[in-house]
Amino acid sequence: MTRALSTPPVIAPGLLGDSPQPVLSATGGLLLRPWEESDAPAFLSAYQDDEIRRWHTRRPSSEAQAREWFDAYRQDWKREKGGHWAITRDGDEVLGRIALRGLDFDDGTANVAYWVLPIARGAGVASHSLWALTAWALHEIGFHRLELDHSTRNHASCRVATKSGYLLEGTKRSAAVHDDGRHDMHLHARIRGD
Ligand SMILES: CC(C)(COP(=O)(O)OP(=O)(O)OC[C@H]1O[C@@H](n2cnc3c(N)ncnc32)[C@H](O)[C@@H]1OP(=O)(O)O)[C@@H](O)C(=O)NCCC(=O)NCCS
């Protein structure tokens, strides 16, 4: 299809999808790596946690479905729609999840999402991982703006965003449906040069 935009893409198509998804190192011995089939039990168990269920309404219902999601994640990478990483200790034990979604190569934008298993919380896992993913996306790949949104009631996520340099830009009123109804959402963003 002929490209109709008057401006060149911020990121050249193929920059991500033509190469394997990278493993990223983060402070504290954390390794962000692609999901593996054997992670399915840990991934499924995350969605039994009340806090994760509180903020994430899209949930796998079986290990088989988790593995289907991992397959979709691999397709997302190849099609340059998103990147999904397991947050691990030394590549082995799964501690959480972090993702870059909604990739827009024309504008150089994307959004981030994450959760951390209860046992690993409060030790910087989310913020160290977000810092590493952000540095890679902005400075190695060339994204210009990364967005992060969370319910205004999710104070821990707000803190992770702020600690990781994602400035609060405003409140999207009544923007998302959770199990207990509609929530206002904070919009945070970090741009290259912040
Ligand atoms: C939000 C979440 C990802 C944070 O993970 P984590 O690894 O514990 O995060 P970090 O340790 O990097 O930082 C957490 C920060 O939040 C703070 N915090 C935790 N609970 C809090 C609360 N109820 N109110 C305010 N701040 C809180 C911590 O004190 C810490 O800040 P500090 O370092 O200044 O003390 C994790 O709690 C989680 O997975 N929650 C459920 C799912 C979720 O909320 N996902 C995000 C949806 S947008």
The share of the chain scoring above pLDDT 70, in percent, equals 99
User: What is the best residue among 47, 111, 115, 154 to mutate for testing ligand 1's pocket, by most ligand atoms within 8 Å of CB?
Assistant: 115
Dihedral sign (CA 43, 128, 58, 85): negative
Provide the token pair at 139. Answer: 């400075």
Atom of ligand 1 nearest to the CA of 113: 48
Helix 125-135 to helix 155-163 angle (10° resolution) is 40
Query: Among 159, 164, 179, 184, which residue has the most ligand 1 atoms within 8 Å of its CB, making it the best to mutate?
Result: 159
- Mean pLDDT confidence for 61-89: 98
* Integer CA distances (angstroms), 31 to 40, 80, 109, in order: 18, 22, 24
Q: Whose Cα sits closest to atom 16 in ligand 1? A: 156
The two structure tokens encoding residue 162: 């702020």
Give the pLDDT band of residue 14 (cuts 50, 70, 90).
very high
Q: By percentage, how much of the chain surpasses pLDDT 90? A: 96
Going from the N-terminus, what domains does the chain have, and what CATH number goes with each? 24-191 (3.40.630.30)
Angular region, 165: left φ>0, alpha ψ -120 to 50, beta rest: left
Q: Band of the pLDDT at 188, cuts 50, 70, 90?
A: very high
Mean pLDDT over all residues of the chain?
97
* pLDDT tens sequence across 124-146: 999 999 999 999 999 999 999 99
Is the CB of residue 125 below 6 angstroms from any atom belonging to ligand 1? yes
CA of 149 to the centre of ligand 1 (A): 14
